[in-house]
Structure 1
Amino acid sequence: MQILAIDPGRVKFGYAVLTADDRRVLCQGIAEVTGLVRVVQELVDRFQVTTVVIGDRTAGAEFATTLRAALEANHVSLVPVREDGSSREGRHRFLQANRRGWRRWVPLGLQSPWRPYDDYVAVVLGERYLDRQ
């Protein structure tokens, strides 16, 4: 069983596909909101996703409304998950995962992400959902 976790935003969103049994990240990325339905349908079909998890904050309700009809046709459930502190945790994970070269010598607290890290936030949201199961 795979889940698709989404960190919603106004202009872009992060996504991550995780396995439910061992929490492996199969795919993660960032896409524009204008391609939301297309990207989600492609991921659901490609990875046989059974559940879509959406963060409950910025634009979460709008995302759920937009996706509900498309997901019901595929018998995929849509579940909100709390986003409290997920951006901070996603930022830390991004910096930790990309700690190469000179970045190894600079404390994480003094570094700034050089690209959006919404996909890492999506991983955090997916893991939170799996923790509740």
Structure 2
Amino acid sequence: MAIDPGRSKCGLVLSDHNGLELLAAGVLPAPACRTQIHTWAAAQQCHTVLLGNGTGSAPWRQWLEQLPLKLLVVPEAGTTLAARRRYWQLEPPRGWRRLLPEGLRLPPRDVDDVVAQLLLERHLQRPLQRSHCRWLSGADAAA
């Protein structure tokens, strides 16, 4: 599991145990993210969590250290721009967006989940597949 932490929202991804494929990804409000992490930890769906060291990571680190998970704090340097590029690889631009140079394209949604994916991929030193990835929403974490 990897988290791109924030004060109000977080990117969260969960990979399979082999680290080959993403099982779930989303951009969640912070309380829903905490609920989802508790759910995965209780179900033993993950044993290690990667936490980006960016803005807002200190409170997350304190909270995660209380859980029965191995915590690894990883550098976030350069992930925001890399996530924009990766977003367009995952979701190729359509319509008029195809005509814009890549540097001028802004994704139409938050890409915190893509940042979390990049953190996990950097740690694993390989790309992850998203072919069967379930999109998380705040409602999923509340269920």
TM-score normalised by the shorter chain: which range applies? Answer: 0.7 to 0.9
Instruction: Give 2:86's aligned residue.
Output: 93
**Any conservation in 2 of the 1:23–1:127 contact (CA below 8 Å)?**
no
CA displacement 1:64-109 (0-9 Å, x = unmatched): 111221x22xxx2111011010111111111222224213343322
The aligned runs of 1:15-94 (5 Å cut-off) are: 15-19=12-16, 21-45=18-42, 48-69=45-66, 71-72=67-68, 76-94=69-87
Would you tell me which structure has more strand in proportion to its own residues? 1
Q: Of 91, 101, 104, which residue of structure 2 is paired with 1:110? A: 104
Q: 1:22 to 1:53 in 2, by over 3 A?
A: closer
- Name the count of aligned residue pairs: 124
Q: Distance in 2 between matches of 1:34 and 1:16?
A: 16
Q: 1:47 to 1:104 in 2, by over 3 A?
A: farther
**Any conservation in 2 of the 1:13–1:32 contact (CA below 8 Å)?**
yes
Runs of 4+ in 1 over 4 A off after TM superposition: none
RMSD after superposition: 1.8
Q: Distance in 1 between matches of 2:103 and 2:17?
A: 31
Structure 1 position 25, deviation (Å): 1.2
Structure 1 position 120, deviation (Å): 0.2
Q: Which runs of 5+ in 2 are unaligned?
A: 126-143
Q: 1:94 to 1:45 in 2, by over 3 A?
A: farther
The aligned amino acid for 2:80 is S
**Any conservation in 1 of the 2:11–2:114 contact (CA below 8 Å)?**
yes
Structure 1 position 22, deviation (Å): 4.7
Instruction: Give 2:2's aligned residue.
Output: 5
Q: Distance in 2 between matches of 1:92 and 1:64?
A: 28
- Higher relative contact order, structure no. (Cα contacts within 8 Å, ≥ 6 residues apart): 2
Normalization by structure 1: what TM-score? 0.82
**Identity fraction in percent:** 32
Q: Distance in 2 between matches of 1:14 and 1:97?
A: 16
Structure 1 position 45, deviation (Å): 4.2
**Any conservation in 1 of the 2:86–2:114 contact (CA below 8 Å)?**
yes
SS of the counterpart of 1:79? Answer: strand
